[in-house]
Amino acid sequence: MKVVVDMNKCQDHGQCVFAAPDVFSMDDTGHLLYVSDPDDALRDEVEEAADVCPLQAIRIEG
């Protein structure tokens, strides 16, 4: 599974961090960091993160 975040859309709401803390996190300045090739076992988490992104900025490929 590949995760792509459109950083032009992302407005650092952080909802993805609550939904999938193994994949998404915030740095000290409040900006998003993420793992782009997470384990498939995390698919549910990542789908939830994509659902709760207010900007629809998270895409799952594969």
Partner 1 sequence: MTATIVVAGGSMGGLRAAEQLRAAGWTGAVTVVGDEPHMPYNRPPLSKEVLAGKAPFESLAFTPRAAAADVEWRLGTKVVSARLAERTVTLDDGSTLSYDGLVVATGMRPRRLRCPGPLTGRHTVRSLADAQGLRDELTRPDARVVVVGAGFIGCEVAATAVGLGVREVTVVDPLPLPMAGPLGELLGRALLRRHEERGVRFRLGTSVAGFEGEDRVTGVVLGDGGVLPADVVVESVGSVANVEWLAGNDLDLSDGVLTCGRLRVGGRPEVVAVGDVARFPNARYDAVPRRVEHWSIPTDTAKHAAKTLAAHLAGAETDPAPFAPLPTFWSDQHDFRLQSFGAPALGLDDVRVLDGDPSGDVLVGYHTGGLLVGVVALGGQAAAMGAARYRAQLLKQPALTA
List residues binding partner 1 (CB under 8 A): 9, 11-15, 17-18, 26, 29-30, 44, 47, 50-52, 54, 56, 59
Q: Which residue has the tokens 């659902």?
A: 51
Q: Are 57 and 9 in contact (CB under 8 A)?
A: yes
| Minimum distance, C-beta of residue 56 to partner 1, in the bound complex (Å) | 6
| Minimum distance, C-beta of residue 46 to partner 1, in the bound complex (Å) | 11
| Minimum distance, C-beta of residue 14 to partner 1, in the bound complex (Å) | 6
